[in-house]
Amino acid sequence: MIFTVAIDGPAAAGKGTISRAVADRFGFAHLDTGLLYRAVGMLGGDPATAARNLTAEDLQRLDLRSLAAGAAASRVAVIPEVRAALFDFQRRFARREGGAVLDGRDIGTVICPDAEVKLYVTASAEVRARRRWLELGGEAAAQPFAEVLAEVEARDARDMGRADAPLKPAADAVQLDTSLMSIDEAVAAAFAHITAHLPG
């Protein structure tokens, strides 16, 4: 069975958590496409060359979940040559036998416009910044909340304002606002929508 679930949304909205849960529940392969861009950004040198030569080992770096890696990903993701180099990799992954779930920022709009299911997971900037801040340690974090919020808003502006494949919901995506939802509620909503679209 070939079945693609495309999950898009801004940073810290919950799309990664939902995507991993979906992959586990339905037995689909999972690709966090943001890791591709994070790895390219953290490799340094010419981003387009780094994207063309990206290896599976590059995706195992321990620093790919850092704020620095997120900022680096946002910077290299605006480069058309980088996006082109990573495009085929993502599309092949999406149409693999056995089903696949991909999460990112342009999966439903650019990478997999024909995906069987498209979800756009979002939440307010304040809620997303608080989640990120708590991940960093909350009151014990090195960064004050206001600084994390400013970074989240700057990232949104870059991702939504870029000329090539800006972050936006696909016209036929189901929007899932997790601002007031628990993780379990958000995952359950995703499960229900996907189950309704499975063949047979």
Question: pLDDT tens per residue, the chain (200 residues)?
Answer: 999 999 999 989 999 999 999 999 999 999 999 899 999 999 999 999 999 999 888 988 999 988 889 889 989 988 999 999 999 889 989 999 999 999 999 999 999 999 999 999 999 999 999 999 998 898 888 889 999 999 999 989 999 998 888 999 999 999 999 999 999 999 999 999 999 999 97
Q: How far is CA 168 from CA 5, 106, 139, 187, in A?
A: 16, 7, 32, 21
Q: Is 34 annotated as a binding residue?
A: no
Q: Is 168 annotated as a binding residue?
A: no
- Helix 145-161 with 125-135: angle, nearest 10 deg: 120
Instruction: Tell if the pTM clears 0.75, that is, is over it.
Output: yes
Q: Is 27 annotated as a binding residue?
A: no
Could you tell me which CATH number the domain at 4-197 has? 3.40.50.300
Q: Is 13 annotated as a binding residue?
A: yes
Q: Is 199 annotated as a binding residue?
A: no
Q: Is 11 annotated as a binding residue?
A: yes
**Can you tell me the distance from the alpha carbon of 32 to that of 148, in angstroms, rounded to the nearest whole number?**
22
Q: Is 4 annotated as a binding residue?
A: no
Q: Is 44 annotated as a binding residue?
A: no
Closest C-alpha to 38, from 8, 76, 87, 9: 76
**Can you tell me the distance from the alpha carbon of 173 to that of 176, in angstroms, rounded to the nearest whole number?**
9
**Can you tell me the distance from the alpha carbon of 132 to that of 150, in angstroms, rounded to the nearest whole number?**
12
Q: Is 9 annotated as a binding residue?
A: yes
**Can you tell me the distance from the alpha carbon of 69 to that of 88, in angstroms, rounded to the nearest whole number?**
23
